[in-house]
Structure 1
Amino acid sequence: MSSSPNGSGEKHAAGAFDVRNVIAALIGFYGVVLLVVGLVDGDEALEKTDGFDANLWVGLGMIVFALAFALWSRLRPIVVASPETRDDEESRPA
């Protein structure tokens, strides 16, 4: 998809404004936080979960989920028409 800096009315990808990128960034950030907490947690946290390092594994899962969202956003971008193109399409008779 090409963007048009000169306002010629071409369609372009949503890019950073795609909500999937925002979701991927937020979930990825929280996943990294949980991963770090899981790596530095003491034995008390492991005792609470019967030896299962929940923070570590949930953090890894969230990072994988965030990567999947980012990949989805890359492979299937949302195409947005410029305002000029939308005005032209709305003014055409049906």
Structure 2
Amino acid sequence: MAYTDAIPWDQPATMIDLDGKVPIIGTIRDCALHFPLYKPEAQAKARVLLTQPIHREGRATRTWLLEPSEIAELTERLVRETN
């Protein structure tokens, strides 16, 4: 089980990219739905800012930011749970 599995779908979150496009302000579910629509270059620069930090394996502190690979995990989880 990935640690992103513990993030509730209704948790407020903001997805940003590092190119300065308008952020997506919504829920984790909204971010997971929109991530696959991004071009690969935008996916590589995307980040999700959480409203509640999560613990990462091997880190002493919790994190407020999800990296592209973690956003992809959320997208895969959404597909699994909706099929």
Q: Report which of the two has the higher share of strand.
A: 2
CA radius of gyration, larger in: 1
Larger RCO, structures 1/2 (Cα 8 Å, 6+ apart)? 1
Q: Which structure features the higher share of helix residues?
A: 1
Identify whether the pair has TM-score above 0.5, normalized to the shorter chain. no
Give the TM-score normalised by structure 2: 0.29
**What is the TM-score when the length of structure 1 is the normalising length?**
0.26
